[in-house]
Amino acid sequence: MINIQTIKGFADKHLKGDPVIWSVVFALGMLSILVVYSATGTISYFKFDGNTEYYLLRHSFLVLLSFFAMWVAHKIDYRYYSKLSRLALWLSVPLLIFAWQFGVSLNDASRWITIPFLNQSFQPSDLAKLALIINLAGMLSKKQQNITDFKKALIPMLLWCGLICGLIAMTNLSTAILLFATCMLLLFIGRIPVKYLAMLFIVGILAVSIAMVVGQRGKTAISRIETFIKKEQIPFQAQQSYIAVATGGITGKGPGNSSQRNFLPEAFSDFIFAIVVEEYGMIGATVVILLYLTLLYRGMKAAAASGKAYGGLLSAGLSFAIVIQAMVNMGVAVGLGPITGLPLPLLSMGGTSLLFTGLAMGIILSVSRGEIEESPEIRSNNHFENLPKKEVA
């Protein structure tokens, strides 16, 4: 019989890093399986001749796969990701262009590439986001001694941020804007002068403007923003989401008792938080929000405790990216922003989104492990404690 001591021993041996992060990710994963099963039951029944478990089994496998990716990523020394990120960035550029021009089209946007032989869709923007944040953290840590050198330190960062965010914006404006905001935060933490941040902001505005004209989702984005501001006609999916939230009450209708799952488009993805509120009420919604805030806090704690500037910037950047997207998704579901089409990290049903979120969490855990002894020379060059206090805060 397996007892608590056996489980604790297994966790201590195989699950390194911050135990709170492990617990939060597992809790969100289990909740994801429950809510996705509820949200897809009716669709699965009609699509697969009464087989209501099809999406349950598929999503459960993907959640386990993301856990495995997280476990593998946390076992690897996070410093190796800096080398891999540059290769991933160069690979992302042609993949993003190919997806924009020849990718699988869904909802008037071609964001996906079908992997040959496997017949599975792959979203290059997920790879590009992860690669850009890792690479940006690496460049910032290496350039701390000459961080104000515009030509050597800042030009490469500005170019990569503008190029990747601009290409993503061609098919997915909301993802590009959130990634750009994450890059701005990371650069600020990395002590980039405000005047150069203003230059990056201008680069971002230009990239978004070009994407609005040349890209696939410009008109849709403008329409959604105008509709949200004027409040003249609430979109159908937003109406159904508000109904789900309003009928959830304090304690909710109970697991599997959602009514709006039969009417709400993308209830298992973009609007899964509305199903959470309907079934688990304000109590459940509050718990979910606190879990994401806990992830942010523990990620930033790992950043502060890191022995190297690179590890701290890496943990901070990835934590920001995940939690900001989560807050935007939940805000849209309750009517605090225009519809974006962003999934809720660790909760929404998805393939590459779940996988790359798992990898990101694994990298944060790798930083939090703190098992690598560093030489005095490295620590003196890279430790956050050696940076000016007002710049680190």
pLDDT in tens, the chain (393 residues): 455 565 455 555 567 778 999 999 999 999 999 999 988 888 887 877 777 888 889 899 999 999 999 999 998 888 888 888 889 999 999 999 888 887 776 666 677 777 766 667 778 889 999 999 999 998 888 877 777 777 777 888 888 888 898 888 888 888 889 999 999 899 888 888 888 888 888 878 887 788 778 777 777 777 788 888 877 778 888 889 999 999 988 998 998 888 888 888 888 888 999 999 999 999 999 999 999 999 999 988 888 877 788 888 999 999 999 999 999 999 999 988 888 878 999 999 877 889 999 999 999 999 987 644 343 444 444 444 444 444 333
Pair 361, 251 in one domain: yes
312 and 355 housed in the same domain: yes
Q: Is residue 293 one of the residues assigned to a domain? A: yes
User: Can you spell out the DSSP letters for 25-37?
Assistant: HHHHHHHHHHHHH
Together in a domain, 279 and 318? yes
Q: Is the same domain home to 89 and 202?
A: yes
Can you list the pairs that 227-236 forms with residues at least 24 positions away whose Cβ atoms lie under 8 Å?
A: 227/338, 228/337, 228/338, 228/339, 235/339, 236/265
197 and 59 inside one domain: no
Sheet of 120-122: strand order equals 104-106, 109-115, 120-122
Decide which of 232, 255, 275 is a domain's last residue: 232
- Structural domain boundaries enclosing 275: 33-75+234-372
Is the domain of 83 the same as that of 227? Answer: yes
**259 domain-assigned:** yes
Structural domain contains residue 389: no
Helix (H, G, I), strand (E, B) or coil at 233: coil
Domain membership of residue 278 (yes or no) is yes
Tell me whether residue 244 is in a domain.
yes
**Where do we find the tokens 């969490």?**
361
Please answer whether residues 269 and 343 qualify as being in contact, where contact means their C-beta atoms are separated by less than 8 angstroms: yes
Q: Check whether residue 228 and residue 240 sit in a common domain.
A: no
Question: Looking at the structure, do residues 69 and 86 belong to the same domain, yes or no?
Answer: no
Domain boundary among the residues 177, 206, 232 is at: 232
Q: Are residues 201 and 311 in the same domain?
A: no
Indicate whether 111 and 218 sit together in one domain.
yes
66 and 92 fall within a common domain: no
Query: For the chain, what is the domain count?
Result: 2
Rounded to the nearest 10 degrees, the angle between the axes of helix 218-230 and helix 173-189 is: 80
In a domain, 166, yes or no: yes
For residue 311, give the H/E element and its range.
Answer: helix 309-333
Note whether 216 and 167 are within 8 A (CB): no
Residue that is last in its domain, among 189, 208, 232: 232
- 189's CB contacts (< 8 A; 6+ apart) are 313, 316, 392
In a domain, 209, yes or no: yes
Asked if 50 and 150 sit in the same domain, the reply is: no
Residue 271: inside a domain? yes
